[in-house]
A = this chain, B = another copy of it.
Amino acid sequence: MSTRYEVLLAGQGGQGLILAGVILAEAAATYDGKNVAQTQSYGPAARGGACKAEVVISDERIDYPKVTEANLLLALSQEACDKYCQDLRQDGVLIVDSILVHQVPTARAYRVPITKIAEEATGRRLMANIVALGLMVGLTGIVSREAIESAVAARAPTGTQELNLKALHAGLQLAENLKVRGH
């Protein structure tokens, strides 16, 4: 059985998805001891505001560093959802921001007002990327809770550690609630 796990984070520039990809990669590699490749590709689309980060996590050596068939897709814009849903495995997990994404091509998606929760928990909409990390880790267990906490704390700009951890815990708690409810 392959241990390769592929994550795609997609949305718009300014949503912090690249930082979220870096944090998830560091959690898996530095704190959980996995092999990880983390990529962002920019094309002419970068000027139009689209943004995508990829994280491949494996127990084995990673030969191809990019996502071929995602196990987990986070979509923070309608455009991202439309474009990347086709790259999700049949049994893959889809998480969308329910305020930013209205049309979801599968009933199995987690629709969560991530940006709103970020604002409620921390007063900052820009913390949505960290709330999303908590949600992703809580729902899938791709990295350990300790690993993601350490990675978030290490990458948080000076003076914002507490706020970042608050956002992370809001996401983790939300995942627990969704699992209990069976969304």
What residue in chain B is nearest A25 (Cβ atoms)? Answer: B42
Whether the Cβ atoms of B22 and A41 lie closer than 8 Å is: no
Which among A29-37, A100-108, A110-118 touches the partner chain?
A29-37
Residue A65 lies at the interface, judged by CB distance under 8 Å to chain B: yes
Rounded to whole angstroms, the CA-CA distance of A169 and B78 in the bound complex is 39
Chain A interface mostly? mixed
Rounded to whole angstroms, the CA-CA distance of A39 and B47 in the bound complex is 20
Rounded to whole angstroms, the CA-CA distance of A18 and B44 in the bound complex is 22
Knowing A18-B22, A65-B65, A65-B66, the reply to whether A30 touches B43 (Cβ < 8 A) is: no
- For A33, list chain B residues within 8 Å (CB): 44, 47
